Structure 1
Amino acid sequence: MCTRQWAAARKLTVVLATLVLLMAGCGADPSARVWAASVCKALTPWRTTIATLTSSTEQQMRAQTTPAQAQENLVRLFAGAEQASETARSRVADAGVPDVEQGEEISAAFVAALAGMRDAYGKARRTIDELDTGDDEAFYAGVDTAVQVLNAEYDASGLDTGGLNSEELQEAFDEVPECR
């Protein structure tokens, strides 16, 4: 083999080795700070959306509307909350697993909590959508029940961090600008 061929072979070997190293680095779990920043980027618009929708729902519940108008508005509001929760859940899942002790469990708990919230909103949306709007009293009683169930399911799906304590993540959530 001539010198030029050896040089080309060595160059190809170096390129392949570099690619292997780069690809191995892509599969690494994100640091606590990177993961916390990603999670906060996912949760900030979700919290804003949920706060806006909650306020709108409260206003809707106090407003003098027909059952059909209330049903349409509430279904739209809960569909928005369901979609916002799914978007946040998907983005948190995409953040990966933080490179900390119990990282798998912590990531799974965040994703599961958001899935539970999404499902609670979806159930409330379906329940209200199925209510008969022909009887005002029965309709509003059904809405009240649906909202009570939503609140209970929402609370039950909340993130329980009691057994998932990571000082490294707590510091990261306190320090990264995306979480402020």
Structure 2
Amino acid sequence: MRTCRATAAGKLTVVLAALVLVVSGCGGGPSPRAWAASVCSALAPWRSEISRLTSSTDQQMTAQTTPAQAKENLVRLFGGAEEASETARREVEKAGVPETDHGEEISAGFRSSLGKMRDAYGRARDTIDGLSTAQASTFYDGVKAAVDTLNKEYDAGALDTNRLKSEELKRAFDEVPECR
């Protein structure tokens, strides 16, 4: 009889352990702090790439290069920013949904914002790629218009973490070292 009790208790322990794993796997996403750290870690290389792009774009706009050279460089730069934005979007997606009020909405907002930025860079790249380099002034006017449009689209797609609908996440973004 003792063996039966031990076996029954052992089975109950296994069932309870499996139930805990199933419940924790289905219900909980990362804590606000863990999610914020993951998101900031995903965004750090993206921010660096965007900063580099901004600096390089400014240099291209003032450099003494031919329109064909500027076009090649700008298309490459905007393509890199498009790729970096998509990489950041995928990394935010991998971070999951934070375990907080409006977590799904907040996660979707971050992914959507990065997707809009990715698309804006892609449109700028395509616009510049389609410009003729025959007339330098016409080419640079087209580049300026493409960059102006990019800036408007970028600003419209930007996500303001100060407007998050979760006090826990606001606090987490302010406190975790990855976000500083």
Q: Answer whether TM exceeds 0.5 for this pair.
A: yes
Does residue 165 (structure 1) correspond to residue 165 (structure 2)? The answer is yes
Deviating more after overlay: 82-91 vs 133-142 = 133-142
Unaligned runs of at least 5 residues, structure 2: none
Aligned pair in 2 of structure 1 residues 88, 7: CA closer, same or farther (>3 Å)?
same
| Normalised TM-score (structure 1) | 0.89
Matched with 1:90 is 90
Matched with 2:30 is 30
Aligned pair in 2 of structure 1 residues 6, 63: CA closer, same or farther (>3 Å)?
same
For 1:133-148, list aligned pairs within 5 A: 133-148=133-148
User: Could you list the per-position Cα deviations for residues 138-166 of structure 1 after superposition, in whole angstroms to 9, with x for gaps in the alignment?
Assistant: 11111111001000100111114576332
| Normalised TM-score (structure 2) | 0.89
Does the 8 Å CA contact 2:161/2:170 hold for their aligned counterparts? no
Measure the CA separation in 2 of the matches of 1:71 and 1:12: 69
User: Could you list the per-position Cα deviations for residues 100-141 of structure 1 after superposition, in whole angstroms to 9, with x for gaps in the alignment?
Assistant: 112122111111111111111000001011111122121111
Matched with 1:131 is 131
Matched with 2:100 is 100
**Deviation of 1:22 (Å):** 1.8
Task: Provide the alpha-carbon RMSD of the alignment.
Answer: 2.1
Identical-pair percentage: 59
Does the 8 Å CA contact 2:79/2:125 hold for their aligned counterparts? yes
Measure the CA separation in 1 of the matches of 2:15 and 2:45: 41
Deviating more after overlay: 120-129 vs 132-141 = 132-141
Matched with 2:18 is 19
Does the 8 Å CA contact 1:105/1:164 hold for their aligned counterparts? no
Deviating more after overlay: 50-59 vs 102-111 = 102-111
**Deviation of 1:16 (Å):** 4.8
Aligned letter for 1:157? Answer: G
**Deviation of 1:26 (Å):** 2.6
Aligned pair in 2 of structure 1 residues 70, 14: CA closer, same or farther (>3 Å)?
same
Deviating more after overlay: 159-168 vs 58-67 = 159-168
Measure the CA separation in 1 of the matches of 2:41 and 2:160: 20
Matched with 2:113 is 113
Measure the CA separation in 2 of the matches of 1:12 and 1:73: 65
**Deviation of 1:54 (Å):** 0.9
**Deviation of 1:6 (Å):** 8.1
Unaligned runs of at least 5 residues, structure 1: none
